[in-house]
Structures are given as C-alpha cells and as structure tokens.
Amino acid sequence: MVMNYNPNSVYKTYSTTGKLSIYKKPIVEVNNTDIINDEIITKNSNNLLILTGTTYNFFFSFNFENELDKINTKGFRYEIYKFNPKTKYFNQKIYVSEIFYNIDNLGQEFPLSNLNLDGDYIIKTYFNYKDNKLFKNSLFKDGNGDTGKIKKGLEYGFYNKKEDNYFIGLRDVEKPSLFSNTPVSIEKDVIRNIILEPKGEKVFNIEEKINGEVIITLNGLVLAKNYDFTFKNNQLKLKGNSREGDIINIFYTSRGESLTVEIIDVVDINNNPKVNFNKEKNRFELYVTKGLAGKKEIITLNGLVLTPNIDYVRSISNDNRIIMMGEIRNNDIINIIYNPKLSLTGNIESLKPSLGWYLKRTPKNEKGKFILEIAKNNDFNNIIFKKDIPYQEGVSVYKTNLDFNLETFTDYFYRVKNIKTHTTINGSLIDLEKISDVYNFKIINNQINSY
C-alpha cells in the first residue's frame, strides 16, 4: 500500500501495531539560496539573483540520513512561494513542479515569467515513499503538509528555516534611452527593401507605394540623389546605364521616416575603426555611429542583403554593435541602413529645453527613481544640476523641463541614472543602477541675455 501525495493534508507519521516508519526527509539544498536571517543582504550575497534572461537554472542536491530512505523514495516535487509584503506571509504559490522519480543530478531550467519578478521567495520540497517493508503496513508520507496556511511556530506563518530554501529574485535594471524636446516614437517604423536585378535599363517603375526619402545602392555603392539618380512618383531613373548582373537596392520606410546609411569600405581590415575582430568570441563586429533603434535594420555585403539572426545579430548590450556570423575581407563594401537612435548632440533654441528618456520595458510593481544629471564636461566631476524623478506605476516614458539658469553658447552634458530599489524580507535595501549614454546640447537663443 502506498500513501499518495496530498498537498492539502497535514503532516503525519503513521503507525500500526505500535510500529513507526523510520523514513526521514533528507536535507535539500538548492544553489544560490540560503536561510532568512538578520544579516544585511548586498549585491554580492549568495542568494540574491539578478536575472537577465528568460530562464534560470536551479540545481537540487539531497543529503539522505541513510540509504534506505533514498531507496524507498517514490517521488519528489517542489513549490515556489512569493512573499507578500502586505500580509507578511509567503502565501503566493507561484509554481508547482512535476513529480520527479529520478533525483540524481536534478537540475531545473525554471521559466522566470512564473516568478512574477521582483520579490522574495522560498522553495518548499516534498517526498513520497514506498511501503516500509521492515514494518508491516507502516507508511510514511512527506511532506510537511504546507498549503500556504498560517501555522503556529513557523516564521512568516509558513517558513521553515530547517527545510526551506530562500532567495531574492530581481530583474536587472534597464539602461535609460534618451530623447530631447519632442518625445520620439519608441517603436520605430520598419525599414523596407526592394531589390532590382536590371538588364541594362535606366528607368524602373516601382509598384510599391513609397512615401518620403529613399536610399539607392548599386552593387553596394550608395548613389547620390539628383546626380546618380532621381526618384519621383514611384519611378527610379538612373543617370547611367545598368548592366546585367547588377544589384540595385531601394531602401525606405512606410511612414517616410528618415534613415541613416553607414558605408564601411573595407580597404584595410586591420585599420578600420568600424570593424573589429573579437578574439574571445571569434567573431567580426561592426560599429555604427548613432546606435540602432526600431524593429529592423538592413545590412548589405557587396550588394547582397544579409539575413538578420542568421548572417548577423544585434548586440544585446551595445546598441552600436553588430555581430557578424561570417567573415569580412579586404575590399568588401558593407552598407548598414537603420533608424538611428535620436542624437542629442546639437543646438537647442528653447530657453527652457525639455529632456526625456524611456524604458523599453514598462516597470510593474517596482520602486525606484531616475536621477537627471547635467554638467559642463563629459566626465561629470562637477555636476551643476541634479533632479530626482520617482518611478510611476505603468509609465515607461518620462520628461522634465530644465528650470535653472542656462548660459548661452555653452556646451552642457547630461545623463540619466536608473536606480531600482528592492526592500528584502529582513529590511535590507538592494539598489540596482544603470546609467544612460551621455549627450550634449547648446543653447543658441540669445534672448536669455535680453533685458
């Protein structure tokens, strides 16, 4: 007879004819977890997980008191509970695992979406056992019967320091993206491409409706408008003849947004500042000037369009970097056509300019603030203006007007810090910080000196 697992039953040790089961739950250890105590938790603490991806690997180890307990283990499962700061209890069950029948070298690629980050968590473990053959009809069923209900003698109504594994899981803080005066559209228009394979023609009628400016390349070379070609009423006219085997690319956006094209003419691959070979990753890297924005970019190599995520990938840590999957050689011509991140290097006429920033992911149930800093040099060793702007629930775009006395024809440098704060269950404060890129502006309206 086997006692089935029932998470709603209370803990019991069963006995018949005066005999007791001797099965005991092993000590279960999980990587990067600890016990709850009064020690201050810092960013270097073992049980603080700063999470960046979509999954996290938990590894379980089991210390059985004797081999009989291990042999008679019928199954193992675990549950994860989140601490509720309002009730002060671990009463938010957010995950229940499957039952594992083989627990040797047990690892779990846990989906972070289940955690509902940020928060404090405990992992509770349960076991089933087979019949105790040494004691006829005696059974032992773990677990400890925890169901999220408040229990006397347990901290936070539910936490067992001897058996439960505690950790803090925080989503890594995001680097702010800046804009100036007029908020930019976070979701940029998609870049589109038309490929023509001429056979000597000079005039091409384009069926797709194109609004706004176009970029035209011939075999990877960018053509000059009104000198090499004209484009009007969806008709492309080349000034010279095309040849069979040529490749013409027409780049545009559906809403007519401006595009940037960067040409990398690889004359000497070892002395080109826009090309780097990463020896550690064994990859060629390209670097653009303004930073990639929007949903799509188009890259051509000697006129041929490369496939994103196959021929190349965007860097996830540097908006200016493109990682190539193939080789780059001398005399290659590379074109990168993209929606640039808005450059704030330039002149501003407003006497009270507004500066703004945004996050790609809207914060939810998070506490923190932004700090806008302005200085007259780009190392910020002498900050002349600082302003704190607290998080707003569900808001990802922020904007503030400068309300201090600016000087005309003076370069100002500014940046934004994003500081997210989490208060742990024992009152420790964890601050995660990321700083935006540094941009500059200059006031060119001399009315500031009018009287």
pTM for the whole structure:
0.58
Neighbours of 392 (CB within 10 A): 11
Are 118 and 169 in contact, with CB atoms under 8 Å apart? yes
Q: Which amino acid is at 317?
A: S
Model pLDDT, residue 279: 92
CA distances, 184 to each of 36, 350, 414, 430 (Å): 45, 18, 18, 32
One pLDDT digit (tens) per residue for the chain, 451 residues: 333 433 333 333 333 344 444 567 788 999 999 999 999 999 999 999 999 888 899 999 998 877 767 776 777 889 999 999 888 888 888 888 888 888 888 998 888 888 888 999 999 988 776 654 443 443 334 443 344 455 555 677 688 888 899 999 999 999 998 875 443 343 445 678 888 888 888 999 988 888 777 888 888 777 878 878 899 888 999 988 888 888 898 888 766 566 777 888 888 888 888 999 999 989 999 998 777 766 678 888 887 888 888 899 888 788 889 999 999 999 888 988 876 654 444 556 566 677 888 888 887 788 999 999 999 988 899 999 999 999 988 888 888 878 777 777 788 889 999 999 999 999 999 999 999 988 887 776 665 555 4
Tokens of 164: 């439960």
| Residue from 420, 440, 320 nearest 379 by CA | 440
CA gap 418, 247 in Å, rounded: 46
pLDDT at site 189: 55
Instruction: Name the CATH code of domain 346-449 (choices 2.60.40.10, 2.40.50.140, 3.10.20.10, 2.60.120.560).
Output: 2.60.40.10
What is the pLDDT at residue 263? 84
Distance of CA 124 to the CA centre of its chain: 29
Neighbouring C-beta atoms of residue 259, cutoff 10 Å? 21
Residue 339, helix vs strand vs coil: strand
For CATH 2.60.40.10, list the domain ranges present in the chain: 346-449
User: Nearest-CA neighbor of 185 among 253, 231, 285?
Assistant: 253
CA 81 to each of CA 85, 109, 165, 415: distance values in angstroms, whole numbers, following the listed order: 13, 17, 10, 38
Q: What is the predicted pLDDT for the residue at 307?
A: 85
Q: Quick one: pLDDT at residue 146?
A: 40
Q: Which residues are paired to 418 by β-bridges? A: 370, 434
